[in-house]
Amino acid sequence: MRSHLLNDTTAERYRRTVTEGVERVAAKLATTDRPFTGVTVDALSPHIEKIDLDQPLHDTAAVLDELEDVYLRDAIYFHHPRYLAHLNCPVVIPAVLGEAVLSAVNSSLDTWDQSAGGTLIERKLIDWTNERIGFGPAADGVFTSGGSQSNLQALLLAREEAKTDDTAKLRIFASEVSHFSVKKSAKLLGLGRDAVVTIPVDADKRMQTMALARELERCRHDGLVPMAVVATSGTTDFGSIDPLPEIAELCAQYDTWMHVDAAYGCGLLVSLKRRALLNGIERADSVTVDYHKSFFQPVSSSAVLVRDKATLRHATYHAEYLNPRRMVTERIPNQVDKSLQTTRRFDALKLWMTLRTMGADGIGQLFDEVCDLAEEGWRLLAADPRYDVVVEPRLSTLVYRYIPEAVTDPAEIDRANLYARKALFASGDAVVAGTKVGGRHYLKFTLLNPETTAEDITAVLDLIAGHAEQYLGESLDRVAS
Ligand SMILES: *Cc1c(COP(=O)(O)O)cnc(C)c1O
């Protein structure tokens, strides 16, 4: 069994085993002709259920054969140009190399004595990101597991910096299309049920700052305390960007923490054409970025950044066995002092390898390409009488719905769109997402694959129309019979 431990004597086995696995995946990537096989839960479950975990196979090739059956064959492949659904990106090769290195070395980023160079690499990437944001020299931050954790940590700091200890009085302001992790965070932070005040959006799905101003004033008038305003820079559903300069102004006026949730829009930090869309972000107190969304990094890769490093002390606890207080005066950098996690992956290495190989412009160019494609997709949809499209994209998201000529019942149109999405998924020809707008079912493309073309978009729109028409035809038959 010791031959399975990775060490000096097994280096050759490691090389062989990983190469075997890499070859399977490479072959898979080269031959996937659809983003999905369309397998159902009921069809796939028995393959996994029948495996006896107490009966190991003892052979890599056999385990990989089995993996084909339980995972690789039916996985959803984000690298396929017709995967157009959620905020998942195809990944860049330097980052995948980083992933392989970091798990083999297995550094843990909590303390210097478990990561050494890793700690400094992470800190340099945090500084680099802060410079892109436009924060000053007092800025800091830490890598996290994802945007949800980053938002939680940012709001924790905001709560600790708030002007009252009475958590029942605290209020967070976020738009109606902000991410649900804001509400989840409020719950985890022990705030009241009414803690998150929802601010309406304008026709472009951007927070209405007039409404925000009114709610902040009402909050103060009611003797409550504004704890934070969450501005979303790239809403999950629409890619819309809240007006950062106006929000920053209001935060200053009401002495309130400004958090920018740029989980999606952070790709703009490296964009060659669209960086100005983030103007005002430098006035935030904290920022969430998800490199695993718009920097083409494998999950997980995310960070929370703060304008003033002193605020990170709210996440600091000392343990004698790990990070005793004296280490602070000895200036030994222990990242655990800034993190909600203890043992923590060296995810930063993936971004490091990416920047050292491709450079920031390389990533920015890829993100610009998908934003350009969304603009083209918008023109296609706007010109297509079969479809209603919601907002002109700022980033790379398109929300639309099929509107059959002959049908006026909105509930029937909802059902046709829902049916089309499910039928498309079951066919595996393409994967699209869905959402609700004004209570009605819409479909969504999140374009994060630079390999996707306008022809792909056209083809998928034709497939959707075909499925929707099929549903409506059958529906007519049902009525007739
Ligand atoms: C995806 C997303 C999140 C959550 O990030 P995870 O990495 O999935 O935890 C938060 N905010 C916005 C705007 C997002 O799009």
The DSSP annotation for 297-326 comes to PPSS-EEEEES-GGGGGGG----TTT--TH
Predicted pLDDT of residue 223: 97
Residue 388 β-bridge partners: 401
User: Closest Cα to atom 5, ligand 1: which residue?
Assistant: 147
Q: Is the CB of 256 under 6 A from ligand 1?
A: no
pLDDT score of 474: 87
Taken in order 237, 238, 239, 243, is the CA torsion positive or negative? negative
For residue 369, the Cα-to-chain-centroid distance in whole angstroms is: 18
Whether residue 446 has its Cβ less than 6 Å from ligand 1: no
Q: What is the pLDDT of residue 37?
A: 97
Give the pLDDT confidence of 208-219 residue by residue, as tens digits.
Answer: 999 999 999 999
Q: How is residue 74 annotated by DSSP?
A: T
Whether ligand 1 lies within 6 angstroms of the CB of 341 is answered as no
Structure tokens at 398: 């398109």
Of 207, 268, 287, 288, best ligand 1 pocket probe by most atoms within 8 Å of the beta carbon? 288
Percent of the residues in the chain that have a pLDDT greater than 70, as a whole number: 100
Mutate to test the pocket of ligand 1, among 181, 291, 435 (most ligand atoms within 8 A of CB): 181
State if residue 259 touches ligand 1 by the CB under 6 angstroms criterion: no
Q: Across-strand partners of 399?
A: 444
Contact present, 83 and 425 (Cβ < 8 Å): no
| Cis geometry, peptide bond prior to residue 475 (ω within 30 degrees of 0) | no
Domains and their CATH numbers in the chain: 107-348 (3.40.640.10), 361-480 (3.90.1150.170)
Instruction: Give the residue whose CA is nearest to atom 4 of ligand 1.
Output: 147
pTM confidence score:
0.97
DSSP state of 431: B
Q: What is the DSSP letter of 289?
A: E
- For the chain (length 481 residues), average pLDDT per consecutive 10? 94 97 97 97 97 97 98 97 97 98 97 95 98 98 98 98 95 98 98 96 98 98 98 98 98 98 98 98 98 98 98 92 88 93 98 98 98 98 97 97 91 96 98 96 98 98 97 83 69
pLDDT at 374: 98
Nearest C-alpha neighbor of 287 from the set 310, 313, 269? 269
For residue 173, the 8-state DSSP code is E
Q: How far, in Å, from the CA of 186 to the mean position of ligand 1?
A: 15
Query: What element of type H or E holds 208?
Result: none
143-178 confidence digits (pLDDT tens):
999 999 999 999 999 999 998 999 999 999 999 999
Identity at 174, one-letter amino acid code: A
C-beta of residue 88 within 8 angstroms of C-beta of residue 41: no
Is 267 touching ligand 1 by the criterion CB < 6 Å? no
- Compute the distance between CA of residue 92 and CA of residue 296 in angstroms, rounded to an integer: 6
Is the distance from the beta carbon of residue 179 to the nearest atom of ligand 1 less than 6 Å? yes
The CA-CA-CA angle for residues 404, 390, 35, to 5°, reads 75
Any ligand 1 atom below 6 A from CB of 429: no
How many angstroms is it from 204 CA to the middle of ligand 1?
A: 20
DSSP for 342-407, written as a single string: SS---THHHHHHHHHHTHHHHHHHHHHHHHHHHHHHHHHHHT-TTEEE-S--SSSEEEEEE--TT-
Say which residues have a Cβ less than 8 Å from residue 280's Cβ, sequence separation at least 6: 243, 244, 245, 247, 248
* Cα 55 to averaged position of ligand 1 atoms, centre (Å): 39
- State the Cα–Cα distance between residues 12 and 261, nearest whole angstrom: 45
Give 431-435 contacts, CB < 8 A, sequence gap 24+.
Answer: 431/35, 431/36, 431/76, 431/82, 431/83, 431/84, 431/85, 432/84, 432/85, 432/460, 432/464, 433/84, 433/85, 433/86, 435/237, 435/399
